[in-house]
Amino acid sequence: MAGAGPTPGGADSDSDGVQNAFDNCRDWPNPSQTDSNHDGCGDACTASIRCDFSGNATVGLEDFLTIGMNFGMAVTPPGTEGDCDPGDGFVGLPDFLVMASEFGHTVGPSGITNAQCDPTRCRCTPQ
C-alpha cells in the first residue's frame, strides 16, 4: 500500500520533539506548535517580525527604505508605512531601533508541506 506525506522518524533541527517534516517552525523550539492565525507557520517563527512592510516575510532593505522615507511623519493606519514600534502612528527613532533588532530576520521556515502552509505568509519547505 502506498502512503503519502513525510515518514515518521526524521530529523528534529530545533530539538523540540517535533520532527522537521511536521514542525510548523523548524528552526525555533516550539513543542506546542501554536499557530494563532492558522497560516501553517508557528507563532515562534513570526513573533519577532514587526517591521516587514514589503510583505516578503523578511525584514530587509525594502523595509529600511520605507522607514527612511516616512521618518518623522504620521502614518495611518498605525503599524504601517514604517511604524513598527510602538505602532503609535508616528515613524521615528523607536522604529529604527526595532528595525535594527529585526534586520535580516525572516518568517519561518515551516517544515510542513505547501498544501498546509500559506507561502504568502510563511517560508514553506516543500516535501
- pLDDT tens for 69-83 read 999 999 999 999 999
More confident residue, 88 or 48: 88
Residue-averaged pLDDT of the chain? 88
More confident residue, 123 or 71: 71
Residue 76 in any domain: the answer is: yes
Q: Among 26, 11, 16, which Cα is nearest to 113's?
A: 26
Residue 1 in any domain: the answer is: no
- pLDDT tens for 85-100 read 877 999 999 999 999 9
Q: Quick one: cell of 6?
A: 513525510
Residue 32 in any domain: the answer is: yes
Look at residue 33 in the predicted model and tell me its pLDDT: 95
50, 43 in Cβ contact below 8 A? no
Domain of residue 69, residue span: 61-102
Q: Quick one: which H or E segment has residue 100?
A: helix 93-102
Residue 11 in any domain: the answer is: no
